[in-house]
Every structure is written in structure tokens, then in C-alpha cells.
Amino acid sequence: MRTIASACIAAACSLAALTAQGDPQPTCRMCPASYIANDEIQAYVKKAIAEKLTDQQIRDVEIGKSHVGIGVVHRGKLAAPPPESVAEHDLVSEVYHVIEGTATLVTGPDLVGKKRRPADLETVRLFNGPGNNSASIRNGVTHELKAGDVMVIPAGTGHWFTKIDDHITYLMIRLDPDKVTPLRDETASRAYLQKPAR
């Protein structure tokens, strides 16, 4: 009898907990999905190489409680990093998926000689929001990146390419819960790709 009573009490508590949660609804009501074909990604890579560009934003989409940015980054050979090349973003987290190439990336939250990035910088305004640059990372963790690897860099974590063997190309996914970056749709992306070299 006690077992039945205990089971009934547990079931009642579970039902009460579910009822208290209400009827969950999607955080992005009637939002469309976004598709980016590989030929569009490759067009960005080609543009990066031809015009000596590094970071380009393909899309920035609304997903309810956040924006998600999709970009392509192409970096050429790097034997020694330039001064103050550590980057850190206050609000936007980044996920890299390496398409091709190899590089050494150092990450960590303890930036040495931190300096605020200018607010009018294109990458601050359009790609990854406010943050800092610095000279190095104290007690950084070294990662040897190669094609197929994924790197997750939370907001507030410094990241720094210290060596690129020949080049590295990676897909960049930016998570922007504070919506500090502007939306960018397929039409804007196609128009950008048609622009002549800067």
C-alpha cells in the first residue's frame, strides 16, 4: 500500500511540475530556416583570396532569443603574430569549423596589455560586437588546428593565431544572444559578392 501511495505522490508531483511549466512555445515563432549553399561559401573564399580579405559575414539571422552569424575566414601564412593580435569579444561567442589548412591557435581568458577595440571598426560594428585586443594571453592553451576540427570560443575568451603554416580557411558561427550585430540576409550577401574589389 505504501508503494502505491508513494508512486501516486510521485506522479502527482511530476504532473504539478509539468503544469507549472505551462505550455512551452517556440522562442522564434514562424521564423524561416536559412540555407547557405556550398557554392556561396566558396564564392566568399574566392573573394577573400582575390581581394586579400580575412573575415566576411555571409548571414546574420534572427533565431528568437539570439542572432546567429555565419561567416568565412581565410588567413594566409603567418610565421609570427603581429602586435596586439589577440582578440576577445564581450558578448559574441564563436565556433570555428576548419575547412582547410593548418594553424596554431592559443586561447584563454587572461589577456595581457588589454586595449579596447575601436567601436567604429567594421568587425566590431558588423561581425562580433565590442571587445578587446591584447599583446598576449597569460597561461594560454595551445591548439593545433587542421581540416575538420571545431573550436568553440566563448565570449570573454581571448584567441590568437600564433602560426599559420600556409593558410587556414574556416567557417565561423557567431552566437549573439544580445543581438548587437545587424541582420544580414541572402540578398545582402549576393549584393556583397557582386561588388568589385575594394
Q: Which pLDDT tens digit goes with each residue over 14-24?
A: 555 555 567 88
Global pTM reads 0.85
Task: Delineate the domains of the chain, giving CATH numbers in brackets.
Answer: 37-194 (2.60.120.10)
| Bridge partner list, 132 | 88, 116
Maximum Cα–Cα distance across the chain? 80
Question: Once rounded to an integer, what is the mean pLDDT over residues 109-131?
Answer: 95
pLDDT of residue 23: 84
Question: Once rounded to an integer, what is the mean pLDDT over residues 30-56?
Answer: 95
Residues 196, 17: Cα–Cα separation, whole Å: 59
pLDDT, tens digit, 9 for 90 and up, residues 79-88:
998 889 999 9
